[in-house]
Amino acid sequence: MNHTLRITLALLVGVTTSLTAQNTTRWDLFQALDWEGRQAFLNQNPTTPWEEDFLLKALDSDDTAGIETGAVNEVAVKTAVAIKLVKLLVALPSTKAAPAIARLPLQYRDPVLRGESWLGLAQLGDRTVVSSLIRTLASLNDSTQRGRGEELQASYSIQALGVLKAPEAFRAVTAASLGWYSPASGVRALAKRTLSQLVPDVGKATLDLLADEDLTLKEGIFQGVLDQGDPVYMAQAAAAILGPLVRYRAQGKNDQDRTARMLLATLVGAQKSPSPPVALVPPIKMLLTKGDNPQAMVQSIRLLAKIDDPSALALLSTTLTGYNARQKVGTNTAADLILVKELFQALAQTGKASARPPLDEARYSDYTAALTRDAEAALAQLPK
């Protein structure tokens, strides 16, 4: 700002405090200044409050001039003026400002201008912005452009969604809490803190997300549950994730590897619960019926032993009965015999007399002497 304008600004600021036509004088003064002068004018502490009409006209003038057109310095100043005007309008608060503010993120790229506009709309209670905020955050979560500008926009959008208490944003904010954002940006930590502003029960809403088709999101959420170390919550999460996971058709090797990894993590995690839920039994039955993942089958059998429900014991019994029948005709493989031993141990672990029949049958099913002794040892642990 040149010397003449500084003098003019100082004189006119004083004059405006004594004139009756306050709004007109303030606007005339604002128009007479260059952009640096306007910035300085808005940054003062006026003796009379800012008028809504003046601020709206000033924002419209900035927008009409093209905030991001001109030399680099001019763009920076016009951007700063727009941000200041948004904050002043929100501080009033202005009931008329939402449409003018809502245009800014659509027309301009500056991450702070966009972010302050989103946050301002949220603070004004404008819920019409929720859907666009969710789309923006979801896009940023999946973006291949991963710079400071993207992190700033993600942070602002999360803040705005938190202010609006938008439950429909839970998925996008959860994904942000697991996303690519750097620790220095604080985006992931902010997202985790914001979840409780969106829904009354974060734990339940998180479990509901485990049915999501996005494997990456599903895996990240479940790992977060495991990291919490609550065995009961782990089992609840396992029950929520196992059914969809067993039915999922993996595409490509990476997808298959991730699915197998998640299956094992789910089955092992559920075993840490003192009483895994019976809802785990149907998907475990599917796993044992498929028979295409030996490691998952071993962990499934071990998990069944911990589920205190007749359906779990029945599945263990019928599974061993099937192997007994195959052993009699010599069709069990070496891998099958590993599972047979696991079944012996699992049935013994149930501690139920009703677990005896398939074990008793196993003694006469042409297993090796070692396995026959294992069956007898398992029987010895059960009541008659």
pLDDT exceeds 70 at position 15: no
Question: What pLDDT shows up at residue 30?
Answer: 93
Distance CA 72, CA 14 (A): 32
Position 20 scores a pLDDT of 39
d(Cα 293, Cα 291) in Å, to the nearest integer?
6
How deeply is 7 buried, as exposed, middle or buried, from its count of CB atoms within 10 A (0-12, 13-18, 19+)?
Answer: exposed
Residue 36 is predicted with a pLDDT of 95
Please report, for the chain, the start and end positions of each structural domain, with discontinuous segments joined by +.
Answer: 201-281, 309-384
How is residue 367 annotated by DSSP?
-
User: Tens of pLDDT along 135-177?
Assistant: 999 999 999 999 999 999 999 999 999 999 999 999 999 999 9
Number of other residues whose CB lies within 10 A of the CB of residue 148: 11
Of 119, 141, 50, the closest CA to residue 88 belongs to 50
Q: Which amino acid is at 11?
A: L
Residue 23 has pLDDT above 60, yes or no: no
Considering only residues 97 and 258, tell me which one the structure prediction assigns the higher pLDDT.
97
d(CA 362, CA 325): 9
Tokens 């923006």 correspond to what residue?
136
What is the rounded end-to-end Cα distance, in angstroms, of the chain?
A: 97
Closest of 332, 362, 333 to residue 345, by C-alpha: 362
Residue 337 is encoded by which pair of tokens? 């015999």
| 374, pLDDT greater than 90 | yes
Residue 185 structure tokens = 């940006």
Peptide bond into 93 cis (omega under 30): yes
Contact 126, 143 (CB under 8 A): no
- Running DSSP on this structure, what letter comes out for residue 108? -
Backbone Cα Rg of the chain: 33
Give pLDDT, residue 8. Answer: 45
Mean pLDDT across the chain, nearest whole number?
91
For the record, the structure tokens of 279 come out as 């809802």
Place 24 in a pLDDT band, splitting at 50, 70 and 90: low
Q: Which residues contact 334 (CB under 8 A, 6 or more apart)?
A: none
For 125-136, the pLDDT digits (tens) are 999 999 999 999
Length of the chain: 384
Distances (CA, A) of 97 to 76, 85, 114, 123, 219: 22, 10, 15, 11, 42
For residue 7, report the phi and psi dihedrals to the nearest 5 degrees.
-65, -45
Task: Please enumerate, as own/partner, the contacts of 103-108 that have beta carbons within 8 Å and a separation of 24 or more.
Answer: 103/63, 104/63, 104/67, 105/132, 107/63, 107/67, 108/67, 108/68, 108/79, 108/82
User: 250: which residues sit within 8 A by CB, 6+ positions away?
Assistant: 256, 258, 259
The mean pLDDT value for 300-308 works out to 97
Checking if the pLDDT of 60 tops 80, the result is yes
Model pLDDT for residues 206-233, shown as the tens digit of each residue: 999 998 888 889 889 999 998 888 999 9
Contacts of 348 (CB under 8 A, 6+ apart): 355, 359, 377, 378, 379, 381, 382
Whether residue 18 is predicted with pLDDT greater than 50 in this model: the reply is: no
Burial class (CB in 10 A: 0-12, 13-18, 19+), 316: buried
Helices (DSSP H) in 33-185: which residue ranges?
35-43, 52-64, 72-91, 98-107, 111-123, 130-141, 148-164, 170-177
pLDDT at 11 over 70: no
326 SS3 class: helix
Q: For 39-61, what is the mean pLDDT?
A: 93
- pLDDT category of residue 79 using cuts at 50, 70 and 90: very high
Higher pLDDT, 231 or 3: 231
Is the pLDDT assigned to residue 305 strictly greater than 70? yes
Can you tell me the distance from the alpha carbon of 281 to that of 211, in angstroms, rounded to the nearest whole number? Answer: 17
Q: Contact 198/166 with Cβ under 8 angstroms?
A: yes
Q: Which amino acid would we find at residue 14?
A: G
Hey, which bits of the chain come out as E strands? none
Percent of the chain with pLDDT strictly greater than 90: 80
**203 vs 233: CA distance, rounded Å:** 8
Cβ(41)–Cβ(64) under 8 Å?
no
